[in-house]
Chains A and B, each alone.
Chain A
Amino acid sequence: MLETLLPILIFTALALAVIGAVRRIRLWRQGRPSRVNLFKGLVALPRRYLVDLHHVVGRDKMISNTHVATAGGFVAAAVLMILVHGLGIANPLLGGLLLLASASMFVGSLFVARRRLNPPARLSKGPWMRLPKSLMAFSISVFLITLPTVGLLPEGLLEGGSSWLLALVLAGVVAWGLGEMFFGMTWGGPMKHAFAGALHLAFHRRAERFSTKKGGAGRSTGLKALNLEDEAAPLGVEKPADFTWNQLLGFDACVQCGRCEAVCPAFAAGQPLNPKKLIQDMVVGMAGGSDAAYAGSPHPSQGLGGKPVGEHAGSPHGPIVALEGKALVDADTLWSCTTCRACVEECPMMIEHVDAIVDMRRYLTLERGKTPNKGAEVLDNLIATDNPGGFDPGSRLNWAADLNLPLMADLKQVDVLLWLGDGAFDMRNQRTLRALVKVLRAAEVDFAVLGTEERDSGDVARRLGDEATFQSLAKRNIATLAQYRFLQIVTCDPHSFHVLGNEYGELGGHYVVRHHSTFIAELYDAGRLTFAPWKGGSVTYHDPCYLGRYNGEYEAPRNVLKALGIEVKEMERSGYRSRCCGGGGGAPITDIPGKQRIPDMRMNDVKESGAELVAVGCPQCTAMLEGVVDASAEVRDIAELVADALVERSADDVTGASRRTTASTTAEEVIV
């Protein structure tokens, strides 16, 4: 009886799965086109899965092992099952392997079940709660029906007249397992993640983020330049179908593990953003319907604990954000993001949340002019003055009036172009810049600045969705840079660093860009800087998102601190898990309220590390962290620490001019 039933069940499930897959693919294909080399992607899939994905998953060994056992067991079992029970190749070897595979899957599913006994808040419940049972149903039933093939059970045991009931029950369990695993995979059950996830890995929109045999993962922006010349081209994403098809595919891959939720600074601050929920909102929108079935933590909401589920709905061609009332997502959810990429870094499915958010912001800003709070003002400032603060562009070099900085316009050709960034207008960051200048001079670096020719890099405009202003700034900066020759750009601003290095390329600007910590580390390694021993207290280091997660530079700043004689007391959240300061993505500008402030949380992390000083490498981080009231630690940029520790070898003064006397010099300003 089973021999008859099993092939029917298996091939029915497979057929239904194929139908489901076609339907699912059609959902994804509602999205805009995206150029992907399908073949190359599929070829790269195993490596992306086994190396890159498992690099992320492997951060939790328990889950990693569980997944290897369960998923590995399932994939093997599924293939073998089709052979053994579907096609009837009752080879004892295959049978034995199938037993092993299903046993492995069963053991894995026990751990899955254990995790579901008392699941953390970040895990979605709902259908996911039945998954361990389904896994067990599948693995146990497959194991049992396979026993006879290796002769461990008499062939006829399940065939006899009295055992038809047993066979029927077994067939029912097999059907349950097949239903979840094959049918559910493409029809929207929890196992959908395997199908969508695999294809998402293969057809990922940012293929350069994956490692290759030649080396580590490449760094890139996820933001693609909009074609502003084409008047018909929509600006940003208004409705789910405005995403590219592989973005939709990516959303569909979500396993709702909530790792993103656990690391999202906006979520922790009680701002109305839960990245997991946002991705699920997109899935809902892609298929059409309401979010009523969502079974995870909602977007936080002030006073309510969370935005009620079931009140938001959408469709592939309906607006994501309603002009009035509610649609799929509220605008404040999109404006809460700091673009810190903590979610992207943690996502085992390699989903790109941040880019999706910026895509949706682009629509709100470019088509609707709905950048909230100070957003519009900042963008107006950028348009009028080329800097977000609206300062007189001619005053960009005011802070250095006494430093006699060499100008690119005069020198035309130097080794290092020092990119100032908009911190040049900020009194706090001016201290960092002065310190950096002092360091460059101490190391006798051949450098110059653009001075008033420099414009904002466009970072804030781009993150606020104003792609037009970004491109305008970027193109003019590129044109300015094109007039000069330099080996590399050095900047103390990780945002400029990222934008110049990773986002100008698409517009024709290709440069070697270095963060000042990297450059200082190189100068030190080359023996061009000498430091006095560190006399201060304990120090921790805060990784800027755009230096660390965006660009993978975790070591250089730490090496500089080490060279200064500082032993870094790491915070619990550091390196790729560093918590954002709250300053990125225009978040301080759009200023969506929550129940606490992100920088306060970060300074609390600092406090918990016991450090008296937090070293930073980003003007934005400095501003955010220093803005914390009653902080327990001092905030200093790495450049400042280095400048303070310099043992000067030349008698040159701060102004760069040679002095007549040989008296030793002190800092240019008392504390600076």
Chain B
Amino acid sequence: MAFDAIFEPIEIGKLTIRNRVVSTAHAEVHATDGGMTTERYVRYYEEKAKGGCGLCICGGSSVVSIDSPQGWWSSVNLSTDRIIPHFQNLADAVHKHGGKIMIQITHMGRRSRWDGFDWSTLVSPSGIREPVHRSTCKTIEEEEIWRIVGDFAQAARRAKEGGLDGVELSAVHQHLIDQFWSPRVNKREDEWGGSFENRMRFGMEVLKAVRAEVGNDFCVGMRICGDEFHPDGLSHDDMKQIAAYYDATDMVDFFGVIGSGCDTHNTLANVIPNMSYPPEPFLHLAAGIKEVVNVPVIHAQNIKDPNQAQRILEGGYVDLVGMTRAHIADPHLIAKIKMGQIDQIKQCVGANYCIDRQYQGLDVLCIQNAATSREYMGLPHIIEKTEGVKRKVVVVGGGPGGMEAARVAAERGHDVTLFEAADSLGGQITIAAQAPQRDQIAGITRWFQLELARLKVDLRLGTRADEETLLDLRPDIVVLATGGQPFLSQHPEWGYSENAEESLVVSTWDILSGKVAPGKNVLIYDAICEFSGVSAADFIADKGAKVEIVTDDIKPGAAVGGTTFPTYYRSLYEKEVIMSSDLMLHKVYREGDGLVAVLENEYTGALEERVVDQVVVENGVRPDEALYYALKEQSRNRGQVDLEALYAIQPQPCLSESGDGFLLFRLGDCTAPRNTHAAIYDALRICKDF
């Protein structure tokens, strides 16, 4: 049987898990109200259980003590009995669909922020500052150690009393337990530091206290790293020794293994590998741990595809696979495997929109699935067919917003035509996918292509829709998602002209799409600091050109998230791309065969010049509004979206009003330049009631 390895149940401790797929612990951020799980939280996990996920480990970095601040990432607060009834709701929601649910519990030690909420004094074995959160801390005292050991035990009791199936002790990501483990952070000379046994002591005391509190029938696991990837940190061999040491106690029911430590920006990027990484890059580390322990090993990191999961499990590298982002992209992953609908799985592309939001303290959302974590609002993962009238829906624009609009309308059972001026679907995704290491972003388009084909949407590719062609189709609804164009005309001094021969500057789109060949000595001016600027720099440098990327912002790529800018930086530094900040592009002029770019320092006003052969400007998108205004006056709703209904996830009132003519909606960048998620979210919430 295909995927038999995935669907082989497994015992973890006394618990039977129905399959080998786990949604591993991550901070949900949308999780809680003052540390208590909410309806949103419950529905988010219920959806995964409904979709067939075997085990959910919720609540990444859920705190056991009040001096481990809970508020920054809205994690679950297990330091109080108030949490117990909330857990009961959560456990019921997951159990009724046959799933199991545990929670990760931790004390984060120095890995947090102190400048808010209770203004906690963070604690750490030796008081050494943590760079990622810029956090200082105190050296932990023995009394605090024992208090926290007791807090772990009480937290585990609360999880058990709440009906959860187990707890996972976080000894990964440089939380307090592995802060004690790592000689990089633990410089103590008392019985809590120095020798192996001493460094292990805190974790061992936590484990003993937890086990004593919950007994042998409750699942207790540990999440550990496979190698800190720091010369002064814990190596893979060290981690094997540690895992074997704890395993020998027979008190640990499972190990979760993450490759890489994460107390620097660069190692952090390893922990949630983005699309630049190969599949399962750190599986070998987890397999190494499995060699030395006698209990099941879970490993998550870039496992997104059922075939990949099957291969890993069949190979026996680990016992369970974490497919966490895969579930964020598609919580019905398992059900679709079972249904034989592999092609309908919305596969995670590793854009890391989810985790990069999380590191900004924003709720975890999926770049391509607007329903994820919005289940509580009534946004559906499965679009039901309408019981009302079947309408003729015409969508203009085959970017993410247009594709989602067409998909949702077609799922509703309507007759859908989609116009796209280019020869293929994708819109700006197609351009973004041209950059080195960014090709997987095209997976978003690939899924839509398959879905639109399955739903028999009439695709008119290579066709620029005009007013006449649209109205000839006698549409009931027109959705415009026509996007926009690079906004190079904002400053006339840049010398942009629509005539390519005359224009002194080109756009990142021109470069990435291949419309304009990269020069040999290129200046990229990036006023936006998101993906396109650094992608263009990487792309041009990849061709062997000299590249300087300049921004007036604080650094190039400043708006690229915490797990993604490091992989860009690795690539850009390696290719000797010069990154300059605080400089504004003042003017471009031609001199001889070359171009001179005049840059103005943001803070001094001083001008400096660069002599280059190509100037690439990234200045965002200007909406393409022409078609909208051509249609607006003729439409029944004058193109207006009812915001109250939109935000409340209610049907647009005009859908139920009768009248002649068509309804007109626009979404995505042709309204105002936002991002892929925004376009897809608008498309879903507008079109779901068609």
Query: A302 in the interface, Cβ–Cβ < 8 Å?
Result: no
Assuming the contacts A655-B96, A659-B96, asked whether A669 and B4 have C-beta atoms less than 8 A apart, the reply is: no
B51 surroundings in chain A (CB, below 8 A):
669-670
Please state if A671 and B95 are interface contacts (CB–CB under 8 Å).
no
Cross-interface CB contact of A655 among B3, B50, B95, B163, cutoff 8 Å:
B95
Among A35-43, A480-488, A660-668, the one that faces the other chain is: A660-668
- A518 interface hit (Cβ, 8 Å): no
Q: Give A661 to B95 CA distance when docked, in angstroms.
A: 12
Asked whether any CB of chain A lies closer than 8 Å to the CB of B339, the reply is: yes
Q: Quick check: which of A194-202, A425-433, A578-586 contacts chain B, the rest being far away?
A: A425-433
A672 / chain B contacts, CB cutoff of 8 Å: 335, 338-339
Contact call B96/A669, Cβ cutoff below 8 A: no
A653 and chain B: residue at smallest CB distance: B96
B339 & A671 in contact (Cβ 8 Å cutoff): yes
Contacts of B88 in A (CB 8 A): 660-661
Residues of A within 8 A of B9 (CB): 398, 401
Enumerate chain A residues within 8 angstroms of B334, measured Cβ to Cβ. Answer: 669
Docked CA distance A535–B387 (Å): 9
CB distance from A600 to the nearest CB of B (A): 18
Q: How far is the CA of A57 from the CA of B619 in the complex (A)?
A: 85
**Is B382 in contact with chain A by the CB < 8 A criterion?**
yes
Smallest CB–CB gap between B498 and chain A, Å? 47
Instruction: Point out the residues of chain A lying under 8 angstroms from B163, CB to CB.
Output: 660
The answer to whether A669 touches B16, judged by C-beta atoms less than 8 angstroms apart, is no
Report the interface size class on chain A. 20 to 34
For residue B677, CB closer than 8 A to chain A, the reply is no
Docked pose: A665 CA to B46 CA in angstroms: 11
A666-B8 in contact given A426-B1, A654-B97, A661-B92 (Cβ < 8 Å):
no
Is residue A511 contacting chain B, with contact meaning CB distance below 8 A?
no
Q: How many residues of B contact A (CB 8 A)?
A: 33
| Closest CB in chain A relative to B267 CB, distance in Å | 37
Interface residue? A399 (CB, 8 A): yes
A398 lies within 8 A of B8 (CB): yes
- List residues of chain A with CB within 8 A of the CB of B339: 431, 671-672
Nearest CB on B from A585, distance (A): 22
Q: In whole angstroms, what is the CA distance A669 to B7 when docked? A: 14
CB neighbors of A among B348-383 (8 A): 381-382
Interchain nearest-CB distance for A349 vs B (Å)? 44
- A628 → B minimal CB distance (Å): 13
Interface residues of A in 632-672 (CB under 8 A from B): 653-655, 657, 659-661, 663, 665-672
Q: A427-B3, A669-B52 are in contact. Are A401 and B19 (CB under 8 A)?
A: yes
CB of B623 within 8 Å of the partner chain = no
A431 to B336, CA, bound (A): 12
Q: Which of B1, B17, B99, B340 contacts A391 (CB 8 A)?
A: B1
Give Cα distance in the complex from A667 to B50, angstroms: 8
Contact of B89 with A by CB under 8 A: yes
Residue ID in chain B nearest A655 by CB atoms: B98
**Contact A428–B340 (Cβ < 8 Å):** yes
B3, B19, B96 pick with most chain A CB within 10 angstroms:
B96
**Complex Cα gap A402–B100 (Å):** 9
A667 neighbours in B (Cβ, 8 Å): 50
Interface string of B337-348 (1 = CB under 8 A from A): 111100000000
In angstroms, Cα B4 to Cα A389, docked, is 12
In the assembled complex, A212 has its CB within 8 A of some CB on chain B = no
Taking a contact as CB atoms under 8 Å apart, the answer to whether B7 and A398 are in contact is: yes
Within the assembled complex, what's the spacing in Å between the Cα atoms of A661 and B1? 37
Contact with B along A410-425 (1 / 0, CB 8 A): 0000000000000001
Out of B1, B4, B338, name the residue touching A431 (CB < 8 Å). Answer: B338
- Report B378 CB to chain A, min CB distance, Å: 14
Q: Which residues of A contact B98 (CB under 8 A)?
A: 401-403, 654-655, 668-669
Q: Is B18 an interface residue (CB 8 A)?
A: yes
Indicate if B157 sits at the interface (CB-CB under 8 A).
no
Tell whether A659 pairs with B338 under 8 Å between CB atoms, given A401-B16, A668-B98: no
B46 → chain A closest CB, angstroms: 9
Determine whether A395 belongs to the interface, using a CB cutoff of 8 Å to chain B. yes
Measured CB to CB, the nearest residue on chain A to B91 is A660
Q: In the complex, A425→B1 CA distance in Å?
A: 7
Q: A666-B50, A671-B339 are in contact. Are A401 and B4 (CB under 8 A)?
A: no
Q: Tell me how far the C-beta of B420 lies from the nearest C-beta in chain A, rounded to whole angstroms.
A: 25
A430 to B1, CA, bound (A): 12
B2 on the A face (CB < 8 A): yes
Q: Is B332 engaged at the interface, CB distance under 8 Å to the other chain?
A: yes
**Which residues of the other chain, B, contact A401 by a CB distance below 8 angstroms?**
9, 16-19, 98
Chain A residue numbers with a CB within 8 Å of B18 are 401-402
Residues on the A chain within 8 Å of B335, using CB: 669-672
The distance from the CB of B100 to the nearest CB of chain A, in whole angstroms, is 8
Contacts of B7 in A (CB 8 A): 398-399, 427
A402, A431, A654, A660: which contacts B92 (Cβ < 8 A)? A660
Residue of A nearest to B47 (CB): A670
Measured in the bound complex, the distance between the Cα atoms of B384 and A671 in whole Å is: 11
Distance (whole angstroms) from the CB of A645 to the closest CB of chain B: 16
Given A402-B98, A427-B2, A427-B340; A670-B92 close (CB under 8 Å): no
Query: Are A389's CB and B382's CB within 8 A?
Result: no
Inter-chain CA distance A663–B43, complex, in Å, is 13
Closest CB of chain B to A570's CB: distance in Å? 25
Q: Which residue of A lies closest to B341 (CB)?
A: A671
Q: Could you tell me if A669 and B19 are in contact, using CB atoms closer than 8 angstroms?
A: no
Known contacts A427-B3, A671-B335: A659-B92 contact under CB 8 Å: yes
Which B residues from 43 to 100 make CB contacts under 8 A with A?
A: 50-52, 88-89, 92, 95-99
Report the Cα distance A660→B89, complex, angstroms: 9
A452 to chain B, nearest CB (A): 12
Q: Give Cα A406–Cα B19 distance, bound, in whole angstroms.
A: 19
0/1 per residue, A536-575, Cβ < 8 Å to B? Answer: 0000000000000000000000000000000000000000
A430 to B4, CA, bound (A): 13
Chain A contacts with B in 319-359, Cβ cutoff 8 A: none
A391 to B4 Cα, complex, angstroms? 9
Whole-angstrom CA separation of A671 from B88 in the bound complex: 26
A505–B4 CA distance with the chains assembled, in angstroms = 35
In the complex formed, the residue of A with least CB distance to B381 is A670
CA distance A426 to B340 in the complex (A): 11
- Which A residues are in CB contact (< 8 Å) with B8? 395, 398
Q: Mark A363-401, 1 if CB is under 8 A from B, else 0.
A: 000000000000000000000000001010001001101
Q: Which 4 A-B pairs rank lowest in CB-CB distance, beginning with the nearest?
A: A402-B98, A401-B9, A653-B96, A401-B18
In the complex, 7 of the A-B residue pairs with CB atoms within 8 angstroms, ordered by the A residue number, are: A403-B98, A425-B1, A427-B1, A427-B7, A660-B88, A668-B97, A669-B334
Interface residues of B (CB under 8 A from A): 1-4, 7-9, 16-19, 50-52, 88-89, 92, 95-99, 163, 332, 334-335, 337-340, 381-382, 387
Supply 10 further A-B pairs (C-beta < 8 A) apart from A428-B340, A666-B97. Answer: A402-B16, A427-B1, A431-B338, A535-B387, A653-B95, A657-B95, A660-B92, A669-B51, A669-B334, A670-B381
Q: Which residues of A contact B (CB under 8 A)?
A: 389, 391, 395, 398-399, 401-403, 425-428, 430-431, 535, 653-655, 657, 659-661, 663, 665-672
